[in-house]
Structure 1
């Protein structure tokens, strides 16, 4: 093995080790103790929602997930399930309704925007409207 191959292997090993160490493990973030910055490490929690959580927490610790849902606008069963899977805990527990919040077999829906039908608000997108307009014009032309 040449010196260049040996150096290349060492560099590859070093980069792999650094990448592994730099990748954060899924850490629990406790809603009753976390700072705003810590709350925002949970996927889906941004500055607005973390601020709502902190404001609600000023009135007292959250007893459980239901208490959090009732006191923080924007957190329901769906978000609770997602946040729990991303590492958020309330009073030391994950969200118990994970199975309930998951879609049931056979009831899956197409993702938003699938087939160009709707945007995230459920409204038909511009391309779909334009396509319908063209079809309508073609049907009325002599």
Structure 2
């Protein structure tokens, strides 16, 4: 019985590992197989890929119209990867830089005053 359970788990793992499609390597048919990617998006991906491979998810989101953070999360959950990496929820570089510029500095609390005179015995 244990061998059957182990074999079933190994088969499930194998199926799950083959379900991932990398945007830099997948064909139009592979990309269309991902839920949320239709023929129009797969064409945009293939056209953008002709200019160069996608470096990471922010690069993919910047170059493919209609893919923002929420859509990237859904596509990643369906098995789409960029260079073998699932979407990690990181914001694109320009948005992160903008957030840094708009952040207000935090003032440090004042240190308590220390008496400079030595204590008398």
- TM class by shorter-chain length? 0.5 to 0.7
Report the equivalent of 2:66.
74
Residue equivalent to 2:77: 85
**1:32 positional shift:** 0.2
Residue number in structure 1 paired with 2:46: 54
Return 5+ residue gaps in structure 1 as ranges: 1-20, 101-142
Within 2, Cα distance between the matches of 1:60 and 1:80? 19
- How many correspondences in the alignment? 76
Question: In the TM superposition, what are the counterparts of 1:123-142 in structure 2 within 5 Å?
Answer: none
Looking at structure 2, the residues matched to 96 and 73 of structure 1 have their Cα atoms a distance apart, in angstroms, of 19
SS of residue paired to 1:58: helix
What's the RMSD between the two structures over aligned residues? Answer: 1.8
Greater relative contact order (CA < 8 Å, ≥ 6 in sequence):
2
Q: What residue number does 2:30 align with?
A: 38
Larger-gyration structure (1/2): 2
TM-score by length of 2: 0.59
Please report how far the alpha carbon of residue 92 of structure 1 lies from its aligned counterpart in structure 2 after TM superposition: 1.0
1:93-104 equivalences in 2 (<5 Å): 93-97=85-89
Distance in 2 between the 1:53 and 1:79 partners? 14
In 2, the alpha carbon distance for the partners of 1:42 and 1:79 equals 12
Runs of 4+ with deviation above 3 angstroms: none
| Structure 2: stretches of 5+ with no match in the other structure | 1-10, 92-121
